[in-house]
Structure 1
C-alpha cells in the first residue's frame, strides 16, 4: 500500500497508466482516479500511485484549461 493517504481532489500520478488523475475515493483495494480534463474514472493500485509533481500539476492544469477553452471539459 502507498505510504500516504490522499484526500478527495488530490492530483496523483499513476505510473501504470502513465497519467495524472484526481483522487475520487477508494474502490475495494484500488483508488479511483478521474482524468483532470474529465472522462471515465479508472482504478489504480495504490502501490502504483504517487503525488503529482509540481510540473505534472502544471501540465495537467494547462491541459484542463485548453480543454475548457474548446468546450470539452466540465
Structure 2
C-alpha cells in the first residue's frame, strides 16, 4: 500500500487513506480527517470506484448532520 492510496479495512469495513506504515501495520485515516487507526497490511485492499463514491457521500452527509461544513 502506498501513502495516499484509498483502501478498505476488511476487518472493520471502514475506508481510509493510507497515511504511513508503523512496524508491521498500515496507518489509515478517515476520508474527511480524524483519528488514524492501524490495520495489518493483509487486511486492506484498494477500494472500487463505487465503494469510494459511497464512502465520500456518507462522510459528507455525516458531517452535514453534525453541523460541520464541506
Would the TM-score normalized by the shorter structure come out above 0.5? Answer: yes
Instruction: Give the CA deviation at 1:55.
Output: 1.3
How large is the Cα RMSD of the aligned pairs? Answer: 1.9
Query: Structure 1: how far apart are the matches of 2:34 and 2:60?
Result: 15
Q: Which residue of 2 aligns with 1:3?
A: none
**Residues 5-31 of structure 1 deviation map (CA, whole Å, 9 limit, x = unaligned):** x22221100111211011000010000
Query: Structure 2: how far apart are the matches of 1:67 and 1:51?
Result: 23
Query: Structure 2: how far apart are the matches of 1:57 and 1:38?
Result: 15
Structure 1, unaligned runs of 5 or more: 1-5
- Give the count of matched residue pairs: 68
Structure 2, unaligned runs of 5 or more: none
Structure 1 length-normalised TM: 0.76
Structure 2 length-normalised TM: 0.80
